[in-house]
Amino acid sequence: MKQQDTIPKAALQFLRLFLRHDLVDEVTGDLEEMYSFTRLTRSKYIARLVIWLEVFNYIRPFAIRKQTVTPINTWPMYKSYFKTAFRSMVRNKLHAFINITGLSVGMAVTIVIALWIVDELSYEKHFDKYPRIGRVLQNVTNNGEVQTWWTLPWPLAEELRKNYGSDFSNVVLTTGLQPHLLTTEDNKLNKTGLFAEQDFTKIFSLEMVYGSSHTLKDPSSILLSESTAKAYFGDKNPLGEIITIDRDKKLVVKVAGVYKDMPSTSEFSNLEFIASWDLLFNATDWIRSMSDPWRPNAFVVYTLLAEHASFEGASEKIRDAKLKKVNEALAKKKPALFIHPMQDWHLHSKFKNGVKEGGRIEYVWLFGVIGGFVLLMACINFMNLSTARSEKRAKEVGIRKAIGSLRSQLIYQFFSESILTAFFSLLLAIGVVYMMLPYFNTIADKNVSLQWTNTTWWLTAILFCLGIGIIAGSYPALYLSSIQSSKAIKGAYRAGRYAAIPRKILVTIQFAVSIVLIIGTVVVYLQVQHAKNRPIGYDTNGLVAIPMADELHTHFDAVKNELEANGTILAMAEAMSPTTQQWSSTSQLDWNGKDPDLSVDFGVISGSHDYGKTIGWEIVMGRDFSREYISDSTAIILNEAAVEYMGLKNPIGETIRSSNAPYTVVGVVKDIITSSPYNPVTPTLYYLSTWQENFLVARLSPTISPAEALTNIEAVYSKYNNEVPFTYEFTDESYARKFGDEERVGTLSTIFSTLAVFISCLGILGLSSFMAEQRMKEIGVRKVMGASVLDLWKLMSRDFVLLVTIASIVATPIAYITVSSWLENYRYHLAMPWWAFIAAALGTLLITLLTVSWHTINAASINPVKSLRAE
Amino acid sequence: MIETRLGDFEEVLMLIIGILGEEDTYAFRIAQEFKTQTNRAVSIGAVHSTLDRLENKGFLKSQTREGTSERGARVKRIYSLTALGKRVLKEAMEFKLGLWKQYPAFSAKFNMS
């Protein structure tokens, strides 16, 4: 742009900001002369610069404008503002109630969600070396898709240390977290813990109460959590006490340290003991004498990155570390190792086709967005109602101005009023959160609490209140304070036709958000129901899984007969795993017509005779295992998924080779859901076992109460074994746990959406009452002219119906995109429920009409004499 | 209390007002003249501020006058010395002369009576 050859306008404007009014004219004149004088000799840029300097040189005490009136009685004025604010609240109880309730409910929801999110984000952060810790995982190709496996063969840790050590400070091998029986002289309890190599404590920092964390190099030492130590030894120092782990291996260890319990925000929250890997290795035959130790994936490897290394770089280097070691058949799976950084353990641990794809982070986003929306809606209400109501206060403004109130005083008055309301709501919200938090913790399965001493929380809350107060108060403060007092007092002040438009837009946004939330909640609920209604292939009712003890295997028939005789159970069998889980899988499979290059991974479940009868599976072809056929020790039953995957036309009688041993298919059962109810069922093989299994499964007789049945079982159980404590789990309960996350999300989002809808209803209620009041005279005139209540009701509701319609049109595509991408996460999901969209729109319309009617019908049925009398 | 003694800058400004005569004594013109006489640049604001102070002390009086087209027809404030101002100016000179006369090394050379 071309620089103009005139005195800089901005400089003059700036000058007028502070200069005494009586000086403006002469000073501007002087500056004009100064400019043309300078231009005689210098360029226009210099001249303009000179003027700027001159203007700055006028910032002197004599030239600066003084305030013409100085209010001396500031404090009583503020007292008066608060008094007026309070009085106007009392006069408009409904408005005050809606304003404060809406805002405080919104704030309470936001605070709760914020607490939840902060808790979710704080996982594992208590470990000193948090940013450098990782867990090694592997991507393997099975049945034509890439799966991510969490466990690894045990020699891998040593291999990583030896050949890939440059990227790692430490690599440790551990077992998975599992319950073990820990026995002292006086006590016998199942405690969850792991066996780890000695460097475990160098990666995961422990806060020690007694002893040292570096004692794991002695294989006969054990570290206990504080609460475990307390359970066994009370308050005395437990160092040096003797504990026996597991009754079959009889691992004798000495307490060498006690660490503070892990916080609930950790993968290791239930880590109750840590024992030495060497101890387990030397005492466990199946680990020590594996024919191919690179084959079974049953162990966990944690790494600590070296200072200079990155997770990506290290992952790239170790990628083929396992592939190079495994046999030819396993190499078909193309195992690719990578490191899962600790930052991602909690929130980003869902993998699809070997690529990280979300996880709990989706819930964090979901609730974050819901919280944001609820807050937005509460703010919209607050703003709408404040502005709507303030129009009624135009007269007050007029009077105040007429008796000498300054504009700045009016601005202060409105701001102090709205900020005060915001702070009042905050106090209320904190109170509500304080009372509701225990219930929230139960529903959300969390342990969050209000951060009374956290300054960041307080600062955010206070800043937020100031912000919302200022935004909501800005319309009355800045606009109303500018109107002429004479007009306002005469009542000539009317908000223009367009004054209501921002309010209408805000209400439409509110409706749209409500509709999206309603649709989302309905879909979450339907999806959970859909998965719950999925046929699971067996009967969970009255089915119990009991961890096995040696004696019960040897006396199996006696136990069974006794329990059947006294009517406790209908059937009983031994099983490898509880029916809700599948613990083992095999890839050493071959059948006629199998593509030799195909890498497969079939689930394996074994059970004793009567297993099928006990769990109540459904045979669709062939027969169940039977005691009548001795050949059944090499028989096999397939599930439907396996038959379909193998492409067998007549599965009965087919021979399948597992680890080169031939098995004959005798039956096919309906698919049994063992993993997530949202995923397709894995092809699975069922064997008949004669060896000792891990669990007893029993179907309780429906004729006696479960409590009585359990007492009977425990009596028999402890008759044959008094070393292992009796524990049990109902299968329907453990199956229900598969829905835990989704159900929690469903419940929470239902609660939050209900509150959101409630808040927007409050808003509409307030607005409609305001509108009814404003149009009181119009209604009166119309009634006199013969309008019926119904006509008036239609007239008043029309606006809102229009807004809801627009909102539905806006909300539908947004809801569709969100809902369908959420459903995509589940392989087993319901078809898009279009009726939910229509129902949500109609429901919102209905609620709106009901809310609006509350006031319109009131207004419409008032005797017109009342509303018109004043004229 | 109003300070009756004059500062150096104040004294020079009052002298310049006296030199320029009635017509041209407004802040911008005075600042220009100050520069030509002393070779020291001064901002209009600084001059204006001092003029304002001198007026408050009663040494100067001012009146506004129609502006020329050169300055966008804006008024100018013309300053002139009051009787008190002239007396103070004279007193200042005499005070300094008295001092000069007591200075033996110079009193012989200067004849300033």
Contacts with A, B 22-61, CB within 8 Å? 26-28, 32, 43-46, 48-49, 52-53
DSSP result, A549-607: -HHHHHTHHHHHHHHHHTTSEEEEEEESS-TT---EEE--EEETT--TT----EEEEEE
pLDDT tens digits, A643-676:
988 888 888 888 888 888 889 999 999 999 888 8
Residue A116 falls within a domain, yes or no?
no
pLDDT tens digits, A311-368:
999 999 998 888 888 887 788 888 899 999 999 998 888 888 888 887 888 888 888 9
Quick check: B26 and A26 CB within 8 A?
yes
Do residue A450 and residue A518 come from a single domain?
Answer: yes
Q: Which residues of B touch A29 (CB under 8 A)?
A: 28, 67, 71-72, 74-76
Do residue A762 and residue A806 come from a single domain?
Answer: yes
Q: Which residues of A touch B27 (CB under 8 A)?
A: 26-27, 30
Across the range B80-97, mean pLDDT stands at: 89
Residue A73 falls within a domain, yes or no?
no
Strands A684-688 and A168-174 come out as unpaired
Backbone angles phi, psi at A375, to 5 degrees: -65, -45
Do residue A705 and residue A746 come from a single domain?
Answer: no
Do residue A527 and residue A581 come from a single domain?
Answer: no
- Alpha-carbon distance A302 to A203, whole Å? 8
Do residue A380 and residue A331 come from a single domain?
Answer: no
* Chain A nearest-CA residue for B71: A29
Strands A635-639 and A661-669 come out as parallel
Quick check: B71 and A32 CB within 8 A?
yes
Quick check: B72 and A29 CB within 8 A?
yes
Residue A372 falls within a domain, yes or no?
yes
- The domain boundary, picked from A288, A319, A345, lies at A345
**Is A22 in the B-facing interface, judged by CB distances under 8 Å?**
no
Fill in the amino acid letter for A342.
M
- The domain boundary, picked from A730, A751, A768, lies at A730
Quick check: B67 and A29 CB within 8 A?
yes
**Is A64 in the B-facing interface, judged by CB distances under 8 Å?**
no
Q: What is the pLDDT of residue A134?
A: 93
Residue A104 falls within a domain, yes or no?
no
Quick check: A30 and B53 CB within 8 A?
no
Residue A648 falls within a domain, yes or no?
yes
Look over chain A and give the mean of its residue pLDDT values, rounded to a whole number: 86
The pTM score is 0.74
Residue A772 falls within a domain, yes or no?
yes
Fill in the amino acid letter for A270.
N
Residues 6+ apart with CB under 8 A from A684: A582, A602, A603, A604, A605, A638, A639, A641, A642, A672, A674
**Is A53 in the B-facing interface, judged by CB distances under 8 Å?**
yes
Do residue A460 and residue A508 come from a single domain?
Answer: yes
Q: What is the ipTM of this complex?
A: 0.87
Q: What is the pLDDT of residue A814?
A: 92
For chain A of 871 residues, list the mean pLDDT of each consecutive stretch of 10: 75 87 86 88 89 89 74 76 82 83 89 90 90 92 84 91 90 90 85 91 90 86 92 89 83 91 89 92 85 87 91 90 84 88 89 82 88 86 77 79 82 84 90 91 84 84 87 77 75 62 85 89 88 88 87 87 89 90 84 81 89 90 88 89 87 86 91 87 89 88 89 88 83 87 84 87 83 81 86 86 92 92 85 88 90 82 77 51
Compute CA distances A862 → A66, A777, A780, A855, A858, whole Å: 55, 11, 8, 11, 6
The domain of A579 spans 543-730
Q: What is the pLDDT of residue B1?
A: 34
Calculate what percentage of chain A has a pLDDT beyond 90: 18
Do residue A425 and residue A478 come from a single domain?
Answer: yes
For helices A21-41 and A44-57, the axis angle rounded to 10 degrees is 150
Quick check: A29 and B27 CB within 8 A?
no
* Bridge partners of residue A273, in order along the sequence: A193, A224
- Alpha-carbon distance A13 to A24, whole Å? 11
Domains of chain B: 8-107 (1.10.10.10)
Closest Cα to residue A386, out of A774, A763, A773?
A: A763
Do residue A311 and residue A379 come from a single domain?
Answer: no
Q: CB pairs below 8 Å between A and B: how many?
A: 64
State the residue for tokens 């959590």. A225
Quick check: A57 and B44 CB within 8 A?
yes
**What length does chain A have?**
871
Closest Cα to residue A780, out of A713, A869, A704, A844?
A: A869
Contact A208, A259 (CB under 8 A): yes
DSSP result, B76-90: EEEEEE-HHHHHHHH
CB nearest B44 (choices: A36, A54, A62): A54
pLDDT tens digits, A127-172:
989 899 999 999 988 877 888 989 999 999 999 999 988 889 999 9
Quick check: B52 and A62 CB within 8 A?
yes
**Is A723 in the B-facing interface, judged by CB distances under 8 Å?**
no
The number of domains in chain A is 4
pLDDT tens digits, A62-109:
888 876 666 666 788 788 888 888 888 888 887 888 888 888 999 899
Residue A306 falls within a domain, yes or no?
yes
Do residue A723 and residue A747 come from a single domain?
Answer: no
Do residue A228 and residue A207 come from a single domain?
Answer: yes
Residue A756 falls within a domain, yes or no?
yes
Closest Cα to residue A197, out of A276, A286, A104?
A: A276
Half-sphere exposure of A294 (CA within 13 A, CB side): 15
Do residue A622 and residue A646 come from a single domain?
Answer: yes
Q: What is the pLDDT of residue A253?
A: 92
Do residue A314 and residue A384 come from a single domain?
Answer: no
